[in-house]
Chain A
Amino acid sequence: MTRNDDGRPRLGREEQAFVERLGTHYAPTPRTPAERVAFDEALSARVERPRRGRLLVATAAAAAAAALFWFVAVPSSGPPGNGAAGAVAARWETELFLSSDLSAAAARDEGAMLPEEYQAIALAFLDG
Protein backbone atom coordinates (compact mmCIF):
# COMPACT_ATOMS: atom_id res chain seq x y z
CA MET A 1 0.00 0.00 0.00
CA THR A 2 1.62 3.23 -1.18
CA ARG A 3 0.32 6.79 -1.18
CA ASN A 4 -1.18 8.60 -4.17
CA ASP A 5 -0.45 12.24 -4.94
CA ASP A 6 -3.99 13.09 -3.86
CA GLY A 7 -3.33 11.81 -0.34
CA ARG A 8 -5.16 8.53 -0.78
CA PRO A 9 -3.34 5.24 -0.34
CA ARG A 10 -2.82 3.22 -3.50
CA LEU A 11 -4.24 -0.27 -3.13
CA GLY A 12 -3.52 -3.40 -5.08
CA ARG A 13 -6.34 -4.77 -7.22
CA GLU A 14 -7.27 -7.42 -4.69
CA GLU A 15 -7.20 -4.96 -1.80
CA GLN A 16 -9.27 -2.51 -3.78
CA ALA A 17 -11.89 -5.16 -4.50
CA PHE A 18 -11.92 -6.17 -0.85
CA VAL A 19 -12.44 -2.59 0.30
CA GLU A 20 -15.20 -2.05 -2.27
CA ARG A 21 -17.05 -5.13 -1.06
CA LEU A 22 -16.73 -3.99 2.49
CA GLY A 23 -18.08 -0.59 1.55
CA THR A 24 -21.00 -2.14 -0.32
CA HIS A 25 -22.04 -4.55 2.40
CA TYR A 26 -21.28 -2.34 5.35
CA ALA A 27 -23.40 0.72 4.72
CA PRO A 28 -26.68 2.00 6.15
CA THR A 29 -29.84 2.13 4.12
CA PRO A 30 -30.13 5.58 2.52
CA ARG A 31 -32.56 7.85 4.35
CA THR A 32 -35.94 8.50 2.86
CA PRO A 33 -36.98 12.14 2.35
CA ALA A 34 -39.34 11.79 5.32
CA GLU A 35 -36.48 10.55 7.52
CA ARG A 36 -34.34 13.47 6.39
CA VAL A 37 -37.09 15.92 7.32
CA ALA A 38 -37.52 14.20 10.69
CA PHE A 39 -33.78 14.48 11.31
CA ASP A 40 -33.79 18.20 10.48
CA GLU A 41 -36.83 18.84 12.64
CA ALA A 42 -35.29 17.04 15.60
CA LEU A 43 -32.11 19.06 15.16
CA SER A 44 -34.05 22.33 14.90
CA ALA A 45 -35.93 21.45 18.08
CA ARG A 46 -32.65 20.80 19.89
CA VAL A 47 -31.16 24.04 18.67
CA GLU A 48 -34.31 25.93 19.73
CA ARG A 49 -34.52 24.40 23.22
CA PRO A 50 -31.61 26.26 24.88
CA ARG A 51 -32.81 29.47 23.26
CA ARG A 52 -36.25 29.06 24.88
CA GLY A 53 -34.57 28.48 28.21
CA ARG A 54 -32.50 31.63 27.83
CA LEU A 55 -35.59 33.61 26.83
CA LEU A 56 -37.45 32.37 29.91
CA VAL A 57 -34.61 33.41 32.21
CA ALA A 58 -34.34 36.81 30.50
CA THR A 59 -38.11 37.36 30.78
CA ALA A 60 -38.14 36.41 34.45
CA ALA A 61 -35.18 38.72 35.14
CA ALA A 62 -36.87 41.59 33.29
CA ALA A 63 -40.11 41.06 35.21
CA ALA A 64 -38.24 41.02 38.53
CA ALA A 65 -36.37 44.21 37.61
CA ALA A 66 -39.62 45.92 36.57
CA ALA A 67 -41.31 44.93 39.84
CA LEU A 68 -38.37 46.24 41.85
CA PHE A 69 -38.36 49.47 39.88
CA TRP A 70 -42.10 49.91 40.42
CA PHE A 71 -41.78 49.25 44.15
CA VAL A 72 -38.81 51.60 44.68
CA ALA A 73 -39.10 54.31 42.06
CA VAL A 74 -42.79 54.82 41.33
CA PRO A 75 -43.96 55.78 44.88
CA SER A 76 -41.14 58.35 45.21
CA SER A 77 -42.11 60.17 42.01
CA GLY A 78 -44.73 62.53 43.38
CA PRO A 79 -46.31 65.51 41.64
CA PRO A 80 -43.86 67.88 39.93
CA GLY A 81 -42.44 70.48 42.29
CA ASN A 82 -43.26 68.44 45.39
CA GLY A 83 -40.09 66.38 45.66
CA ALA A 84 -39.80 66.55 49.45
CA ALA A 85 -43.49 65.95 49.98
CA GLY A 86 -43.36 62.99 47.59
CA ALA A 87 -40.48 61.45 49.48
CA VAL A 88 -42.29 61.77 52.76
CA ALA A 89 -45.41 60.24 51.24
CA ALA A 90 -43.41 57.39 49.82
CA ARG A 91 -41.85 56.63 53.16
CA TRP A 92 -45.24 56.71 54.77
CA GLU A 93 -46.75 54.43 52.12
CA THR A 94 -43.91 51.99 52.51
CA GLU A 95 -44.42 51.83 56.25
CA LEU A 96 -48.11 51.29 55.68
CA PHE A 97 -47.33 48.50 53.29
CA LEU A 98 -44.92 46.81 55.69
CA SER A 99 -47.06 46.91 58.80
CA SER A 100 -50.78 47.36 59.18
CA ASP A 101 -50.18 48.13 62.90
CA LEU A 102 -48.79 51.45 61.81
CA SER A 103 -52.18 52.50 60.53
CA ALA A 104 -53.40 53.73 63.87
CA ALA A 105 -50.17 55.55 64.65
CA ALA A 106 -50.19 57.09 61.24
CA ALA A 107 -53.73 58.27 61.75
CA ARG A 108 -52.73 59.94 65.02
CA ASP A 109 -49.61 61.55 63.63
CA GLU A 110 -50.71 62.29 60.12
CA GLY A 111 -51.04 65.95 60.79
CA ALA A 112 -47.41 66.09 61.81
CA MET A 113 -46.16 63.86 59.01
CA LEU A 114 -48.08 64.75 55.88
CA PRO A 115 -48.38 67.89 53.86
CA GLU A 116 -51.90 69.13 53.30
CA GLU A 117 -52.45 67.78 49.83
CA TYR A 118 -51.71 64.22 50.97
CA GLN A 119 -53.84 64.33 54.08
CA ALA A 120 -57.01 63.90 52.00
CA ILE A 121 -55.56 60.84 50.34
CA ALA A 122 -54.39 59.41 53.63
CA LEU A 123 -57.76 59.97 55.22
CA ALA A 124 -59.47 58.28 52.30
CA PHE A 125 -57.26 55.23 52.77
CA LEU A 126 -57.50 55.09 56.54
CA ASP A 127 -61.18 55.84 56.83
CA GLY A 128 -62.26 53.84 53.82
Chain B
Amino acid sequence: MAGATAVRAGAGSAHLDGRFSALVASHRERALRLAWRLVGGDDDAAEEIAQEAFFKAYRALPRFREDARLETWFYRILVNQAHRYLRWRAVRERWGAVFHEHQADASAARSGDPLLRRRIARALAGLTRRQREAFVLVHLEGFTVWETAELIGAAEGTVKSHLHRAMTGLRAELADLRDLTGGDST
Protein backbone atom coordinates (compact mmCIF):
# COMPACT_ATOMS: atom_id res chain seq x y z
CA MET B 1 0.00 0.00 0.00
CA ALA B 2 3.00 2.23 -0.57
CA GLY B 3 1.12 4.34 -3.10
CA ALA B 4 -1.49 5.47 -0.63
CA THR B 5 1.02 6.67 1.93
CA ALA B 6 2.06 9.69 -0.13
CA VAL B 7 -1.43 10.98 -0.80
CA ARG B 8 -2.04 13.35 2.08
CA ALA B 9 0.34 16.15 2.86
CA GLY B 10 1.63 17.14 6.30
CA ALA B 11 2.88 15.32 9.38
CA GLY B 12 -0.56 14.48 10.82
CA SER B 13 -1.68 13.25 7.45
CA ALA B 14 1.43 11.12 7.11
CA HIS B 15 0.45 9.50 10.40
CA LEU B 16 -3.05 8.81 9.04
CA ASP B 17 -1.64 7.42 5.81
CA GLY B 18 0.68 5.16 7.76
CA ARG B 19 -2.21 3.96 9.86
CA PHE B 20 -4.31 3.29 6.80
CA SER B 21 -1.52 1.37 5.08
CA ALA B 22 -1.09 -0.78 8.19
CA LEU B 23 -4.85 -1.42 8.27
CA VAL B 24 -4.85 -2.57 4.65
CA ALA B 25 -1.77 -4.73 5.06
CA SER B 26 -3.05 -6.52 8.14
CA HIS B 27 -6.74 -6.84 7.24
CA ARG B 28 -6.80 -7.24 3.46
CA GLU B 29 -7.14 -11.03 3.51
CA ARG B 30 -9.71 -11.15 6.27
CA ALA B 31 -11.73 -8.36 4.67
CA LEU B 32 -11.81 -10.19 1.35
CA ARG B 33 -12.74 -13.49 2.99
CA LEU B 34 -15.48 -11.94 5.12
CA ALA B 35 -16.93 -10.09 2.12
CA TRP B 36 -16.74 -13.29 0.07
CA ARG B 37 -18.64 -15.23 2.73
CA LEU B 38 -21.26 -12.54 3.24
CA VAL B 39 -22.16 -12.30 -0.45
CA GLY B 40 -22.34 -15.99 -1.22
CA GLY B 41 -18.90 -16.81 -2.55
CA ASP B 42 -18.45 -14.30 -5.35
CA ASP B 43 -14.78 -13.32 -5.90
CA ASP B 44 -15.48 -10.19 -7.93
CA ALA B 45 -18.11 -8.93 -5.52
CA ALA B 46 -15.82 -9.57 -2.55
CA GLU B 47 -13.05 -7.57 -4.19
CA GLU B 48 -15.42 -4.72 -5.02
CA ILE B 49 -16.81 -4.62 -1.48
CA ALA B 50 -13.39 -4.75 0.18
CA GLN B 51 -12.08 -1.99 -2.11
CA GLU B 52 -15.08 0.21 -1.38
CA ALA B 53 -14.84 -0.41 2.37
CA PHE B 54 -11.13 0.44 2.48
CA PHE B 55 -11.74 3.52 0.36
CA LYS B 56 -14.53 4.73 2.64
CA ALA B 57 -12.35 4.05 5.67
CA TYR B 58 -9.55 6.10 4.10
CA ARG B 59 -11.83 9.06 3.53
CA ALA B 60 -13.40 8.85 6.98
CA LEU B 61 -10.19 8.13 8.91
CA PRO B 62 -9.55 11.80 9.85
CA ARG B 63 -12.97 11.83 11.52
CA PHE B 64 -12.47 8.52 13.35
CA ARG B 65 -13.01 9.37 17.03
CA GLU B 66 -11.23 6.43 18.67
CA ASP B 67 -14.38 5.51 20.58
CA ALA B 68 -14.13 2.06 19.04
CA ARG B 69 -11.22 -0.06 17.88
CA LEU B 70 -10.09 0.86 14.39
CA GLU B 71 -10.61 -2.73 13.23
CA THR B 72 -14.16 -2.88 14.60
CA TRP B 73 -14.94 0.46 12.95
CA PHE B 74 -13.56 -0.77 9.63
CA TYR B 75 -15.43 -4.08 9.69
CA ARG B 76 -18.65 -2.24 10.45
CA ILE B 77 -18.10 -0.31 7.23
CA LEU B 78 -17.41 -3.56 5.39
CA VAL B 79 -20.49 -5.36 6.73
CA ASN B 80 -22.66 -2.39 5.73
CA GLN B 81 -21.03 -2.33 2.32
CA ALA B 82 -21.76 -6.03 1.84
CA HIS B 83 -25.37 -5.44 2.81
CA ARG B 84 -25.61 -2.56 0.36
CA TYR B 85 -24.16 -4.78 -2.36
CA LEU B 86 -26.69 -7.56 -1.64
CA ARG B 87 -29.58 -5.11 -1.84
CA TRP B 88 -28.29 -3.81 -5.14
CA ARG B 89 -27.84 -7.38 -6.40
CA ALA B 90 -31.38 -8.27 -5.37
CA VAL B 91 -32.66 -5.41 -7.50
CA ARG B 92 -30.49 -6.53 -10.39
CA GLU B 93 -31.68 -10.13 -10.06
CA ARG B 94 -35.24 -8.93 -10.26
CA TRP B 95 -34.51 -7.44 -13.67
CA GLY B 96 -32.44 -10.24 -15.15
CA ALA B 97 -30.47 -13.41 -14.63
CA VAL B 98 -27.06 -11.79 -14.99
CA PHE B 99 -25.90 -12.64 -11.49
CA HIS B 100 -26.71 -16.33 -11.68
CA GLU B 101 -24.71 -16.80 -14.86
CA HIS B 102 -21.82 -14.82 -13.46
CA GLN B 103 -21.73 -16.73 -10.18
CA ALA B 104 -21.87 -20.10 -11.88
CA ASP B 105 -18.90 -19.19 -14.06
CA ALA B 106 -16.88 -17.92 -11.12
CA SER B 107 -17.52 -21.07 -9.08
CA ALA B 108 -16.65 -23.39 -11.91
CA ALA B 109 -13.25 -21.79 -12.30
CA ARG B 110 -12.32 -22.23 -8.63
CA SER B 111 -10.55 -25.11 -6.95
CA GLY B 112 -12.26 -27.29 -4.31
CA ASP B 113 -15.83 -28.46 -4.43
CA PRO B 114 -17.96 -25.87 -6.22
CA LEU B 115 -21.16 -27.87 -5.70
CA LEU B 116 -20.75 -28.01 -1.94
CA ARG B 117 -19.73 -24.38 -1.86
CA ARG B 118 -22.88 -23.42 -3.72
CA ARG B 119 -24.99 -25.50 -1.36
CA ILE B 120 -23.53 -23.75 1.66
CA ALA B 121 -23.99 -20.38 -0.03
CA ARG B 122 -27.62 -21.23 -0.75
CA ALA B 123 -28.20 -22.40 2.83
CA LEU B 124 -26.72 -19.16 4.16
CA ALA B 125 -28.81 -17.16 1.71
CA GLY B 126 -31.88 -18.85 3.17
CA LEU B 127 -31.21 -17.25 6.56
CA THR B 128 -32.27 -13.74 7.45
CA ARG B 129 -29.67 -11.04 6.91
CA ARG B 130 -28.89 -10.72 10.64
CA GLN B 131 -28.71 -14.50 11.17
CA ARG B 132 -26.32 -14.84 8.25
CA GLU B 133 -24.13 -11.96 9.39
CA ALA B 134 -24.02 -13.22 12.98
CA PHE B 135 -23.16 -16.77 11.91
CA VAL B 136 -20.44 -15.74 9.47
CA LEU B 137 -18.89 -13.20 11.83
CA VAL B 138 -18.86 -15.39 14.94
CA HIS B 139 -18.53 -18.96 13.72
CA LEU B 140 -16.63 -18.55 10.46
CA GLU B 141 -14.59 -15.40 11.11
CA GLY B 142 -14.00 -15.74 14.84
CA PHE B 143 -15.38 -12.43 16.07
CA THR B 144 -16.68 -12.42 19.62
CA VAL B 145 -20.37 -12.02 20.35
CA TRP B 146 -19.90 -8.48 21.66
CA GLU B 147 -17.74 -7.53 18.66
CA THR B 148 -20.44 -8.86 16.38
CA ALA B 149 -23.05 -6.91 18.32
CA GLU B 150 -20.99 -3.79 17.63
CA LEU B 151 -20.55 -4.66 13.96
CA ILE B 152 -24.17 -5.29 13.15
CA GLY B 153 -25.62 -2.78 15.61
CA ALA B 154 -27.57 -5.22 17.78
CA ALA B 155 -27.66 -6.25 21.44
CA GLU B 156 -25.54 -9.23 22.52
CA GLY B 157 -28.67 -11.18 23.42
CA THR B 158 -30.06 -10.57 19.95
CA VAL B 159 -26.84 -11.79 18.37
CA LYS B 160 -26.97 -14.99 20.43
CA SER B 161 -30.55 -15.51 19.37
CA HIS B 162 -29.56 -15.03 15.70
CA LEU B 163 -26.70 -17.49 16.16
CA HIS B 164 -28.96 -20.14 17.63
CA ARG B 165 -31.52 -19.83 14.84
CA ALA B 166 -28.84 -19.76 12.17
CA MET B 167 -27.24 -22.91 13.56
CA THR B 168 -30.59 -24.70 13.66
CA GLY B 169 -31.45 -23.66 10.12
CA LEU B 170 -28.09 -24.56 8.64
CA ARG B 171 -27.90 -27.95 10.36
CA ALA B 172 -31.32 -28.80 9.01
CA GLU B 173 -30.43 -27.61 5.52
CA LEU B 174 -26.99 -29.23 5.45
CA ALA B 175 -27.69 -32.30 7.57
CA ASP B 176 -25.51 -34.52 5.39
CA LEU B 177 -22.49 -32.27 6.01
CA ARG B 178 -22.29 -33.60 9.56
CA ASP B 179 -21.42 -37.02 8.17
CA LEU B 180 -18.62 -35.76 5.96
CA THR B 181 -15.04 -36.56 6.76
CA GLY B 182 -12.13 -34.42 5.63
CA GLY B 183 -12.65 -32.79 2.24
CA ASP B 184 -15.18 -35.32 0.87
CA SER B 185 -18.60 -33.98 0.05
CA THR B 186 -20.69 -36.96 -0.99
Contacts and interface: CB of A to CB of B under 8 A. Distances in A.
Interface of A: 1, 3, 6-9, 14-15, 17-19, 21-31, 36, 39-48, 51
Contact of A6 (B1, B37, B140, B144): B144
B119 to A, nearest CB: 9
Given A28-B33, A44-B3, 14 more contacts: A1-B160, A3-B160, A7-B145, A9-B145, A15-B167, A19-B140, A25-B120, A25-B177, A28-B46, A41-B3, A42-B51, A44-B2, A44-B4, A47-B4
A24 B51 contact: no
B116 A25 contact: yes
Contacts of A14: 178
A3 B36 CA distance: 27
Interface stretch (B72-80, B89-97, B105-113): B105-113
Given A3-B160, A21-B180, A25-B113, A39 B120 contact: no
B24 A40 contact: yes
A9 B159 CA distance: 11
Contacts of B167: 1, 15
Contacts of A8: 138, 142, 144-145
A44 B185 CA distance: 40
A28 B113 contact: no
Contacts of B116: 25
A14 B163 CA distance: 16
Given A9-B160, A40-B24, A27 B33 contact: yes
B177 A31 contact: no
Majority DSSP secondary structure for residues of B touching A: helix
Contacts of B145: 3, 7-9
A17 B180 CA distance: 10
B32 interface: yes
8 contacts: A7-B145, A9-B163, A26-B120, A26-B121, A28-B33, A28-B46, A31-B28, A40-B2
Contacts of B164: 1
A26 to B, nearest CB: 4
A28 B39 CA distance: 12
B143 to A, nearest CB: 9
B180 A26 contact: no
B61 to A, nearest CB: 11
Contacts of A44: 1-4
Nearest to A41: B3
A45 B112 CA distance: 33
B170 interface: yes
A27 B2 CA distance: 28
